[in-house]
Chain A
Amino acid sequence: MEVSDSFYGVVENVCRDLYIQSLKEIPPDIVEAIRQAASRETTEVAKRIFSHYLQSIELGRTQDMIVCQDTGIPIYWVNIGGTLRFDGARLNNAIVRGTERATREHPLRSSIVSPLKRENRQTSTGERVPVIHYDFAPDSDQLDILFMPKGSGSENMSSLKMLVPADGVNGIKRFVIEQVVGAGAKPCPPTIVGVGIGGSSELCMAMAKKATARPLGSKNPDPQIAALEKELFDAINQTGIGPQGLGGNTTALAVHIESAWTHITCNPVAVNMQCWRAERRRAILQADGRVEFSF
């Protein structure tokens, strides 16, 4: 189905709204998990931190406030319906413009700089930013845009290891646990621990990141991988790192693993954590410009 000329303007508005809304309304599955985690804490410090989390979630929802000051690196995961027809370059431009408008119109802190000169255009954009991933959905005429403002506290804890086949699944387990424990307080725990296994190096990390956006309670469809998710989740929550790394019973809200086939000599593993707010916002657009927002 061919989109109308006004479609690109709709995409631009949607991307502006996704950015702003994602910073203010924490996904309901995350809010519920934070509430439950709060009720499991026994120490004064851990209880206080969770009460600060819950107060800030509430202020975001009811007072139209940004929950965390980190506006993050804007990342879009765009899933294109196979029967939808449009100009891809114009779509890409609309996403960039929506990001810039969110920054200017709200206004938001622009957290994006050039890597060496550290120049900030004050637009949350720059060379190759926002980061936009494209994928395709067969038999669909919708455009599905998932947005995450990836905060740097957790992003700076990302790591990849090109393990070899002889390291096996034990190598993967060791690496994930060492990374989460080593990150300690810095990624703002409790985190969602995204893990990529297999693929090439860049695919492995992209899977780890995408995994953090999976709704809580979801499992990898492969039972062996789902069992690994559970084993790692249980282990991480026994380490006692707790909220803000100050000690407590919940260190991870989930461990999500995504996988791809890999080279015969490769056994890559990537870890990408998402902080306790796990901001994400989704919009589904129809060719005629109708939009539905979700998480």
Chain B
Amino acid sequence: MAEYRFKTPLTESDIRQLRVGDSVTLDGVIFGVRDANMIRVFDEHIAPPVDWRGAALLHTAPNVRKVASGKYEPISVGTTTSMRMDRFTEGLLRDYGIRAILGKGGLSAKSAEAMQKYGGCYLSVTGGAAAMETLQIEEIERAYWEDLMPECIWQFRVKGLGPMTVGIDTHGGNLQDSVQAQAQRKAAELLKKMGVA
């Protein structure tokens, strides 16, 4: 399995070479998004205040310390469950030119299809290991939509973020999904063996 290191913004050719199980480390600028700000963009139709072409979006809402008006220092930046934001994936790829979604727990088959179509990928961050992740954040450059605190759109500058595991690639691979399908088959076998009809 290959190891990649990219600097943002990402290009379509960066992404199309990836295969599930590869590892990716990122440098540059990434954006933190999640439930409340995605609902604002897609359900309330308010355009995000940033250009997301080639961007990597991290599913997160951090712990921060306010140091000045609009300026925050990271206390703990980790990764949240992606599936809650699953229905926004296609719009992010199609309308805003996102290249990578960083999250935990995986995305649906429908999102994986959109990744294939638009040239995007899902990078699986180790959930719950925020302490390590926080040390890879160099700076919180900006927070947009502070009224949604802590669910603002966060602009982070990162150095050596990862290594993350490619969970969904552009070739039809969806790692969490295949593990899940295999586990379902195994569970059916186990229940039979346990005498549970």
Residues of A within 8 A of B (CB): 23, 44-45, 48-49, 52-53, 55-57, 59-60, 63, 65-71, 106-111, 118, 120, 122, 151-153, 156, 170, 173-174, 177-178, 181, 184-186, 188, 231, 235, 238-242, 244-247, 275-277
- The size class of the interface chain B forms with chain A is 35 or more
A-B contact count (CB 8 A): 176
Max chain A Cβ within 10 angstroms of own Cβ: one of B84, B183, B194: B183
Complex Cα gap A65–B75 (Å): 8
Residues of B within 8 A of A174 (CB): 191, 196
The answer to whether B179 touches A153 (Cβ under 8 A) is no
Q: Given A69-B76, A244-B124, A246-B179: A56 and B104 within 8 A (CB)?
A: no
Contact B131 A60 (CB under 8 A): yes
B65: chain A residues at CB < 8 Å are: 107
CB of A107, distance to nearest CB on chain B (Å): 6
Query: Nearest CB to that of B182 among chain A residues?
Result: A240
13 contacts between A and B (CB under 8 A): A23-B76, A49-B165, A69-B130, A71-B63, A153-B105, A156-B84, A170-B195, A184-B180, A235-B194, A240-B179, A240-B186, A245-B105, A245-B176
> Which of B78, B126, B150, B195: most chain A Cβ within 10 A?
B126
Residues of the B chain whose Cβ atoms lie less than 8 Å from the Cβ of A49:
126, 165
**A263, B60: Cα distance in complex, Å:** 43
- Return chain B residues, CB-CB under 8 Å to A170: 194-197
Contact (Cβ within 8 A) A48 B165: yes
Q: Are B179 and A188 in contact (CB under 8 A)?
A: no
Contact in complex: A68, B179 (CB < 8 Å): no
Which of A55, A178, A241 touches B132 (beta carbons < 8 Å)?
A55
Which residues does chain A contribute within 8 Å of B187, judged by CB atoms? 177-178, 181, 235, 239
* Contact code string B58-76 (vs A, CB < 8 Å = 1, else 0): 0011111100000000011
Q: B36 at interface (Cβ–Cβ under 8 A)?
A: yes
> Quick one: closest B residue to A48, CB to CB?
B163
Are A118's CB and B130's CB within 8 A?
Answer: no
Tell whether, in the assembled complex, residue A186 and residue B149 are in contact, meaning their CB atoms are under 8 Å apart: no
In the complex, what residues of A have CB within 8 A of residue B135's CB?
A: 59
B62 contact set on A, CB distance < 8 A: 69, 109
Please, which residues of chain A bring their CB within 8 A of the CB of B165? 45, 48-49, 244, 246
